[in-house]
Every structure is written in structure tokens, then in C-alpha cells.
Chains A and B, each alone.
Chain A
Amino acid sequence: MNTPQNPSPMNSVGRVTRIAGTGAVTETYTGNRGLMLEEPLLFERGALDRCGVDLPEIPVVQDRLAGLGRADPIGLPGLSEPETVRHYTRLSRQNYGIDLGIFPLGSCTMKHNPRLNEKMARLPGFADIHPLQPQSTVQGALQLIDTLATWLKTLTGMPEVAMSPKAGAHGELCGMLAIRAALEARGDARSVVLVPESAHGTNPATAAFCGYAVENIPANARGRVDTEALKARLGPDVAAVMITNPNTCGLFEPDMIDICAAVHAAGAFVYCDGANFNAIVGRVRPGDLGIDAMHINLHKTFSTPHGGGGPGSGPVVFSDALAPFAPLPFVRKTKDGFELVEEMQARNSKDHDRSFGRMVAFHGQMGMFVRALAYMMSHGADGLRQVAEDAVLNANYILASLKDVYTAPFAASGPCMHEALFSDDFLAGTGLTTLDLAKAMIDEGFHPMTMYFPLVVHGAMLVEPTETESKASLDQLIGAMRSIAEKMLADPDAWRTSPHLAPRRRLDETGAARKPILNFKDLETAAA
């Protein structure tokens, strides 16, 4: 074999794959490693009298604080502006984000966040208006909400939408409250909600929050709801069935129309968890399947940023049967423009006359509405259809490219939708699991896939690439995942302690829960 001048082995795209030796430098005075900069806590850096904001002089007045002035120190350290910028910039570099690379977190739809959307949401006409300004001064904002509502109703084929829910789980709550209100309105108290085993944890939690007992419906061998078991359980005590479609195994529920008809025949409602709408937007209208309510995660399908865990936005579309029970407030068109109906008493029309009430202060996540509408207008009806097609194509490409190495429990039953489900069965006997594989991906520079969800598959790995990944990006992920799997099977012991190259190695989560240190005061106490 020819030994090249440069001993670093190169892969097919010319990337150095061996980690360079550290040479003489094994430790540093600062704890930093080149561009990887350690950053102390704000409370270790700041001071009570340091400040990064200049304010005008405070005029002298007789105070009106009724003797309730805050005398004791609060304990809030401050930093000057340059120190603040550096503190947060250093912290940001310890984060992985979509802007850095593929983020194939199944069920989460981590797609590109267009910067136009950020720019639009910051227009003063949207960002600097108060929710309780006179309605005559916010007609453009109400128009935006109405326009977005029209898009959502048209894309889902549903007649009504509630815009105010703050996130997906909040949308579920909105839908289930409407179902409960509709049942109570017809004097039909029911007590049970059926939820497939593969459901998101929010589904059973939401049903329980609404006062229902939750019963699980099993999955069949093809990863779909066991339709016969579901039908057999329907009866006068069942209020609703909550179904995710496409489901959390990344599969379309082929019996959905049949299921909805059976549920309706039994006097119950179908709540559809719309978390995976990205797979079918523009190709299927959920209304055509017969559902009664569905939330839409604007932060998934319509690309509003996840922001490290929120804020989200979860509008809910409703069928005619549930529309009268939708929450307040809502926007309606009048002959003079748009009206925001905020209170039951203020209402003149017959629609919404049985609203179950208000779910939030004010009117919902306006900042997210602007971003989502900018995204929809950019894609248009034709582009959104392409979104679903490319998302599904990308996921199937991953499934097809990995299924000879990774266990793919449902691959035999046909194509997947927007996410590919694998399990760690292929690692049996190595002592390695999904967790080890995910942590090894971190060293390769990827955010791992979703681990151990859905619960119906042991050692699940749910890979959702989204439509905003190029073929080259997918090929690199596939190559890395194949490489990791092959190396793990060849030498399991080398793979039990990844990652080694991230800002931190594996963290002690058990210790964190056993003796929780939840703020800096605790930290001081713990050190003492």
C-alpha cells in the first residue's frame, strides 16, 4: 500500500477522518480547547453593581409604594454589554442547531427556519402592537390571523380553526375540551378516551387532564392501529379516540376513513394529533378522512423555530360538529374589516354561541403566526405539496439505505412517510443499545435521532430528515450511520462511552435527579 505524505486518512469526499493527536498539549490552563471555550455561570462572573443598560435620570417624586419598597438585596448579577455578548455567544457554541447540520429528530420535524420569517415577525407593525389596543388600530394584525386561518382550513379541509392554543399539547387540550363540551351539550356524559400505544405522551396526559380514563389500543404487526381491536372497544362510554396520523412509527393509517366512520357511528369523536402533518400537507386533507379535530404544530410543519424548547403554536381545526364549541377569542370578517370577538357577552352572531371559553390571556402566538404565514406564502400550494413529497422521499431514502444493517421493524410492509423507524435489535449480543449509537453519532457531528420512542418498538430509533436536507447531507448521515453500526458490531467495547468529542461527555442524570440542584443558591449550599 502506498503511504501518502500526509498520514491522515481521507474518505471519499476528502475529509480528514482521523482525529489529530494532541501532541504535547494534553491540558490547558484555561480548560479551553482551541475554539471550544468554557464559560462560567453568570453568577460567577457578574456583579450586583455592574450594568449593561443606560437609563435616563429618575425624577424625584413622593413614592406611592405604600411602604412596600423592596429593601433587601435581590441577588441579580449584571454584566456590561460586551461581557453579556461574550457570555451568551460562548454558551451558544455548546449547542447543536439545524443551522449547523442535519437534526434528524423523529416526530420533531427539525427543518430549516427561513430568515425571511424572522424578519417579517420583527416588523414593528406586528412586533410592537399591544393585544389590547383598540381594534381599529390593529386591522392588519387581524387580517394576518384571518389569512393564516384560511390557509390552515383550506390545507386541512376543515371548516373552522381555533388560533389561540400556545403549543401542540395545548392544542390537544383545546380539541379535547371541545369534544367534552359537545358531549355535555347533548347530555351524553362519557368517560373513556382510547389512545393507541404508539401515541405521544401528551395524548394520554391531555385526556386525563380533561377528566377521562385512558385506555390503550394495541398496534398490529404492521405498526398501525389494530382496527378490529379499536372497533371492538367502541361503545357508549367512549368519548373519543385520539389518533396520530401519520402515526409515530412514521406510517400512514390506511384504515383512517373506516375508523372515523366507526367512531362516529358509536357516537364518539376522532381527535387527530397533527404533529406529523408535514408528511401529507398538500397531498391529503385530514378533513377528507373524517376527523373532528386536529392541532397543527406551526413549529413543525410550518417551520417556526423551536428555539431550544419553544415557544410553539398549536392552532386546532374543527369539523362542523365541534365548531360551535371552539374557544374564544376568534377573528371574524365584518363589512368594515375584521373584528376580534373576545367575550361571550359581546357576541351578536349565532356561531360560536356555545364556546367552551378562553384558553389563554390575549389571542395566541402572533409572532409565530407571522412566521408561519411567511413560510406558507413562500411555498404556496404547489410548494407545500413538494414539501410533503420531499420529506417522504428523504425518509424512504434513509430507510432503503440502512435497512440491510439496521433493524427496520416495519420496512417489509411498505414505504414509510416522513420518518424512518429502526430498532437496536441488530446490536443484540454486543451489550450496546440505541443510546450508545446515538452518542456515537454526536462524535460524528450529528444530532442523534429520537431515541426509545415510539414505545411500541423496543430500542426505537426514529429518523426524520425533513425536506430541507440535500441528498449529499443524507448520504453523509447514511455513511456515518453505516460506519458506526459496522464498527460497533466489530468491536463493541470501543463504543460504550461515547461521546468523546462533544463539549461534555455523558452526564450523570441519575445523580441530578437524586439530589436536585436547581439554581445557583443550591450550588452555593452544595459547595459549602
Chain B
Amino acid sequence: MRYLPLTQPDREAMLTVIGAQDIDALFADVPESARLTAPIAGLPNHSPEMHVERALGVMAAKNLSAGTVPFFVGGGAYKHHVPATVDAIIQRGEFLTAYTPYQPEIAQGTLQVLFEFQSQVARLLGMDVANASMYDGSTAMTEAVFMARRVTRRSKALVSAGVHPHYVGVLKTLTRFTDDEIATSTPDLTPGKPGDDLDALIAAIDAQTSCVIVQNPNIFGHIADLAPLADACHKAGALLITVVTEVVSLGAIKSPGEMGADIVVGEGQSIGNGLNFGGPYLGLFACRDKHVRQMPGRLCGETVDADGKRGFVLTLSTREQHIRREKATSNICTNSGLCALAFSVHLTLLGEKGLRNLAGLNHARAVQLAERLGRIPGVELITTSFFNEFALKLPTEARSVIRKLAERQILGGISMGRLYPGIAALENGMIIAVTETATDEDFDAFEDALDEVLA
């Protein structure tokens, strides 16, 4: 077996050194009734590389990959072009096959990358300090709610109707057995401001409110000025948590930090990471300096070595589970190190100028497509202020439209019925994302097909 270096003579020589008669002697602690005497039945035996490659290749070929068709699906995961350099760097064995940098003298590569990543994320989100990444955006949002509870010593969270329903689902799951109160509402498709309930949220803030959670751009692509909401939160002693699921937007629109957010969480997949059918992705998490000791997740900090040379270490680990055990700020152990590296490399290649150009291109292309589709008879453009994603109201149920588009080899967006099953008022809604990867030919094909399906 190609991954196992020991030869049979090696094994015998080693057993002699150990003083064991055979390998079974090393498993003597296993109760006899649980010992397996042969390979587990029902599974194939080992395979040559070429056979594995063939079998998995057949499975992969059954999927319609985004790069081969007109593609307009978003909803928290976006198809952006990832430069070839990104993948070449994350495949370097020194990054790929390293562990968490617990021995900093021989992990300065990972540590400096994390320090740079934290710096890039803090600037992008307009915040003081960012951590070294979390599992994904949805789990980062739940961690933010728990952090707000620690900071304010209150337990009522108000969730905007514009927050991604999967994110809300995760929050509900993880607060099911706690005494947190999670106030949610169902979005409506008011033209011009779908899912925008900021005035209602402001009215609902009271002395028990720990935080208000709002997504910008929201699940329908709508963007809003959060400054009035931030003011209202701060007057009441509550924190504003802002969720960003499309971070490329921050090259074009004001950052949550500039609008007064106290905690910003996000899904960083858009930069440097492929779609990967939903994972692995990376959660972004940033806050104000004054709250850093209540922050979850790993943090990398600058220091010096015994010779006075600059170096980096994991720091403030007294917040974390391996030290604090049941009193830790979170049970999280891993971050998304390699995805954070990919994010950082891509953002380094872009720089400020490239990010602004990329964001400008996404926006302009989305405006072009929104205006074209909005002219199709019976179709209404619901989201009028947006970055690269918008909602349409169709004259018919959107799930079947998406299906018919897929039959025509067009991945045309997300039906709201999939995200909000059982809510009749949303069944005709469709969410469409446009990135720099979509061509004019893709636009033509999409418009023609939608026209045809709706006719």
C-alpha cells in the first residue's frame, strides 16, 4: 500500500524490539467481543491511484460545474475568478501540511500570514481588530451573538429579516438550549427595500437587548445605511452586529465599521476560495479594541524573540478551550487556516486598486443585467439599491423556473422557495448574483431563456 512505508521485515524487527509476539498483542486491551479478526465486510479493498481517480472522476462528471454554463447563483457563496497563483501557494507543503502554530519558532510562515490576514480583514471591514478566521460566516454570526451577551450581560438578540435564513437557522439551533431570546421575523418583498426592517428593529430595541443583527448587503442584495441603527443600538447599550456574506462588496460600499458596527462577521469565501459545494469556507470576525478579550477564536500577535528579532505568536489564548476548558469563550479549536491563506494571497494580488476595480466591475455588470431582466414582461426588479445581487419577482413560482432554466443548461439563481419553504408570499421570488465571471453571451442566454420559460 503506497502510503505505508513499513515492510514486513521492518514490522517483525520492531515487534521483537517491543517484545510482542504479534500485532494482536498490541491490541490486547480491546475486549474480545469487539475485536475484528478480518477487514470489515461490505467495503472494497485497496485500490491503485488510477482506479480511485477514475471512480471519483465519474462522480464529478455528473455535476454541472459553474464555469461551464451561464451562472448566476449567490446567496452567501459567490463565483469569483481565483488567480492561479492562489492555488499554487496554498499547495506548498510547508503551508498545506503544517499544524496550528503551537511551536512558533518553526511556524513563522503561518503566523506572519495570520497577522497579515488579521490586518487585511480589519481594514476591509473597517474595524479595529480581526481574529485568525472561524469555520464559516454562519457559525461566526452565532459566536458574535454569544460575545454580545458576554459584553452586555443581556440575552435578547434582534435579528433582521434580511439575514441569510441558514445563518438564522444556525443561531436558533445553538440557542435552543440556552436562555437567549432570539427575535426573528419573516421578510417581505417590498419593492425598493426587500427584507429591510431597520425602522422596526430600531423600535424594538429595549433595555434587555444585547444586540441587533443585520446583514448588508442583505439576502436579497439590498444595501442600506446602518448608521441610524448603530446610533439606536448604542443609545440603548446594545451592540450592532453586521453580517457580510459578499466581502467583495466592501471594495464598493461603506464598511460596517464606518457605519458604526460593534462586531462584524462575514463569509470570506468570495476572496480566494472556490464554491466547493458549500465548504470549506472561512468565517471573518472583527470587533472594537475594547472588546477584544471577549472575542472567540484564535488571535495572532506580534512580539520579539530572544535575539530581539520581530516574530509572531498565538496570543490571548487564556480565552480558549485548551486553557480555560468549560470557562472558555467558545469551544472552537480549529480555524480555517488554509482558506484564510487563500483569502490573504488573493487580496494581496488585488490590493486596494484591484479590489476597487473588481467591486466596480461586479456592480456595473449586475446593474446591466438587472435592468435587462427587469424589462421582461411580468418580471419586477424588487431590489433597486444593491451591489452584485438582486431579487426579482416573477409572474410564476420561481422553483419551477429555476428547474426549467437548469434544463437549458443555465444556472439562473436561487428560488426563495428553497430558502423559505412554505411561505407563499415569497414563492415567486428569485435571487440573482452577477460577478465578473459572467460574459455578455451569458447575459444574452439568460435573458432569452428566462423570456422563453416565462412566456
Q: Are A and B subunits of one complex?
A: yes
B183 within 8 A of A: no
Does B207 belong to the interface (CB within 8 Å)?
Answer: no
The contact string, 1 if C-beta is below 8 Å from chain A, for chain B 92-127, is 111111111101111111101101101110111000
- Do the beta carbons of B275 and A127 come within 8 Å of each other? yes
Q: How far is the CB of A279 from chain B (nearest CB, A)?
A: 9
Binding stretch for chain A, among B62-70, B229-237, B446-454: B62-70
Q: Which of A282, A361, A385 contacts B138 (CB 8 A)?
A: A361
Q: A65-B252, A396-B26, A401-B17 are in contact. Are A380 and B47 (CB under 8 A)?
A: yes
Q: Which residues of A contact B133 (CB under 8 A)?
A: 310
Partner of B106, one of A39, A123, A392, A442: A442
| B331 CB, min distance to chain A CBs, angstroms | 4
Complex Cα distance A361/B422, Å?
A: 19
Near A by CB (< 8 A), chain B positions 302-321 give 302-307, 309, 311-313, 315-318, 320-321
Top 8 nearest A-B pairs (CB, nearest first) are A78-B351, A125-B60, A362-B278, A307-B338, A140-B62, A99-B93, A131-B278, A311-B280
Task: Identify the stretch in B35-43, B149-157, B198-206 within 8 Å (CB) of chain A at 4 or more residues.
Answer: B35-43
Cross-chain contact A209 with B331 (CB below 8 angstroms): yes
| B348, A359: Cβ atoms closer than 8 Å | no
Within 8 A of A (CB), among B373-428: 384-387, 402-403, 406, 411, 414, 418-419, 421-422
Query: Once the chains bind, are B110 and A95 in contact (CB under 8 Å)?
Result: yes
Select one of A328, A471, A512 contacting B14, CB under 8 A: A471
Q: How far is the CA of A381 from the CA of B136 in the complex (A)?
A: 33
Cα(A114)–Cα(B98), bound, Å: 14
- Docked-complex contact A257 and B280, CB < 8 angstroms: no
Write the chain B residue with the least CB distance to A111. Answer: B3
CB contact under 8 A between A124 and B65, given known A499-B105, A519-B122: yes
* Residue pair B328, A201 in contact (C-beta under 8 Å): yes
**Is B29 within 8 A of A134, CB to CB?**
no
- Which listed residue (B1, B83, B282, B318) contacts A386, Cβ 8 A? B1
Chain A residues within an 8 Å CB radius of B363: 61, 63-65
Contact of B170 among A312, A313, A358, A383 (CB under 8 A): A358
Q: Is the CB of B182 closer than 8 A to any CB of chain A? A: no
Q: Could you tell me which residues of chain B, from 63 to 91, have a CB within 8 Å of some CB in chain A?
A: 63-68, 71, 73, 75-77, 79, 83, 85, 87-91
- A505 in contact with B280 (CB, 8 Å): no
**Does B161 touch A at the CB level, under 8 Å?**
no
Pick out which of these stretches binds chain B: A7-15, A18-26, A42-50, A483-491.
A42-50
Q: Are B116 and A42 in contact (CB under 8 A)?
A: yes
Chain A contacts for B188, CB-based, 8 A: none
Q: What residues on B are CB-neighbors of A136 within 8 Å?
A: 403, 406
Interface centre among A141, A204, A381, A512 (most CB of B within 10 A): A512
Most chain A CB atoms below 10 A, which of B57, B73, B109: B109
Interface pair A390/B4, CB less than 8 Å apart: yes
Contacts of B323 in A (CB 8 A): 201
Q: Which residue of A lies closest to B31 (CB)?
A: A257
Q: Does B253 contact A (CB under 8 A)?
A: yes
Partner of B223, one of A66, A116, A210, A345: A66
User: Which residue in A118, A177, A358 is a CB contact (below 8 Å) of B166?
Assistant: A358
Chain B residues with CB below 8 A from A517, complex form: 301-303
- Cα(A343)–Cα(B132), bound, Å: 32
* Cβ contact within 8 Å between A305 and B350: no
- Interface pair A382/B98, CB less than 8 Å apart: no
Contact of A161 with B by CB under 8 A: no
In the bound complex, what is the Cα–Cα distance between A485 and B242 (angstroms)?
54
User: Once bound together, how far apart are the Cα atoms of A308 and B103, in whole Å?
Assistant: 11
Q: Is the CB of A99 within 8 A of B14?
A: no
A310 contacts which chain B residues (CB < 8 A)?
100, 133, 135, 280, 334-339
Smallest CB gap from A288: residue in B? B34
Which B residues touch A105, using CB under 8 A?
Answer: 99
Which A residues lie within 8 Å of B330 (CB)?
205, 209
Give the contacts of A103-123 with B (CB-CB under 8 A).
Answer: 103, 105, 108, 110-114, 116, 118-120, 122-123
Most buried by A among B103, B139, B402: B103
Q: Is A194 an interface residue (CB 8 A)?
A: no
Q: Complex Cα distance A147/B43, Å?
A: 11
Of the residues A70, A256, A385, A502, contact of B251 by C-beta under 8 Å: A70
Report yes or no: A361 in contact with B278, Cβ–Cβ below 8 A: yes
Partner of B99, one of A103, A141, A155, A521: A103
A68: chain B residues within 8 A (beta carbon):
223-225, 253-254, 385
Indicate if the CB atoms of B328 and A309 lie closer than 8 Å. Answer: no
Query: When the two chains form their complex, are residues B105 and A143 in contact, meaning their CB atoms are under 8 A apart?
Result: no
Task: Give chain A nearest CB distance to B87 CB in angstroms.
Answer: 8
Query: Which of A48, A151, A308 makes the CB contact (< 8 A) with B352?
Result: A48
A382 and B45 contacting across the interface, CB-CB below 8 Å: yes
Chain B, residue nearest A168 (CB): B333
Q: When the two chains form their complex, are residues A49 and B353 in contact, meaning their CB atoms are under 8 A apart?
A: yes
Contact yes or no, A78 B136, CB < 8 A? no
Given the known A-B contacts A68-B253, A170-B135, A504-B309, are A151 and B43 also in contact in the complex, defined by CB atoms under 8 Å? yes
- When distances are taken between beta carbons in the complex, the residues of chain B under 8 Å from A112 are 3
Q: A480 contacts the other chain (Cβ, under 8 Å)? A: no
Give A459-506 interface residues, CB cut-off 8 Å to B: 467-471, 473, 497, 499, 502-506
Query: B118 to chain A: which residues have CB within 8 Å?
Result: 518-519
Chain B residues whose C-beta falls within 8 Å of the C-beta of A129 in the assembled complex: 63-66, 275-277
CB of A32 within 8 A of chain B?
Answer: no
A523 to B112, CA, bound (A): 13
Return chain B residues, CB-CB under 8 Å to A397. Answer: 14, 17-18
CB of B61 within 8 A of chain A? Answer: yes
Docked-complex contact B4 and A308, CB < 8 angstroms: no
Contact of A88 among B43, B49, B103, B345 (CB under 8 A): B345
Return A438 CB to nearest CB of chain B, in Å: 7
Task: Tell yes or no: B23 within 8 A of A by CB.
Answer: yes
A379–B46 CB distance below 8 A: yes
Q: A88-B345, A380-B43 are in contact. Are A288 and B64 (CB under 8 A)?
A: no
Interface core residue of A41, A122, A132, A133 (most chain B CB under 10 Å)? A132
Q: Indicate if the CB atoms of A383 and B46 lie closer than 8 Å.
A: yes
Check: A207 CB closer than 8 A to any chain B CB: yes
Expressed in whole angstroms, the Cα–Cα distance for A84 and B128 within the complex equals 25
The smallest C-beta distance from A459 to any residue of chain B, in angstroms, reads 16
Cβ of B189 < 8 Å from any Cβ of A?
no
Q: Which residues of B contact A393 (CB under 8 A)?
A: 6, 11, 14-15, 18, 23, 26
Contacting residues, chain B, for A166 (C-beta < 8 A): 135-136, 139, 279-280, 334
A-B contact pairs, 26 of them (CB 8 A): A53-B358, A79-B348, A85-B85, A88-B92, A94-B106, A95-B109, A131-B77, A131-B277, A134-B403, A208-B327, A252-B30, A257-B34, A282-B39, A305-B96, A308-B100, A308-B109, A358-B166, A360-B170, A367-B279, A377-B56, A381-B44, A392-B27, A396-B14, A400-B19, A504-B104, A513-B318
Q: Within 8 Å of chain A (Cβ to Cβ): is B240?
A: no
Residue A221 is within 8 A (CB to CB) of chain B in the complex: no
Interface residues in A321-350 by Cβ distance below 8 A to B read: 327-328, 342-343, 345-346
Q: Which of A226-234, A263-271, A368-376 contacts B (4 or more CB under 8 A)?
A: A368-376
Type the 1/0 row for B271-309, where 1 means its CB is closer than 8 Å to any CB of A.
000111111101000000000100000111111111101
B350 near A76: Cβ-Cβ < 8 Å: yes
Check if B349 sits within 8 Å of A61, measured CB to CB. no
Interface: B444 (CB within 8 A): no
Please determine whether B20 and A396 come into contact, CB atoms closer than 8 angstroms: yes
Is B105 a contact of A503 with CB atoms below 8 Å? yes
Q: Is the CB of B325 within 8 A of A64?
A: no
The answer to whether residues A343 and B421 also contact, given A126-B63, A166-B279, A360-B138 and a CB cut-off of 8 A, is: yes
Chain A nearest CB: distance from B259 CB in Å? Answer: 8
Instruction: Provide the bound-state CA to CA distance between A345 and B417, in Å.
Output: 11
Please give, as numbers and ranges, the residues of chain A lying within 8 Å of B252 by CB-CB distance: 65, 69-70
Q: Are B411 and A137 in contact (CB under 8 A)?
A: yes
Distance, CA A312 to CA B19, complexed state (A): 37
Residues of A within 8 A of B190 (CB): none
Q: Which residue of A lies closest to B126 (CB)?
A: A74
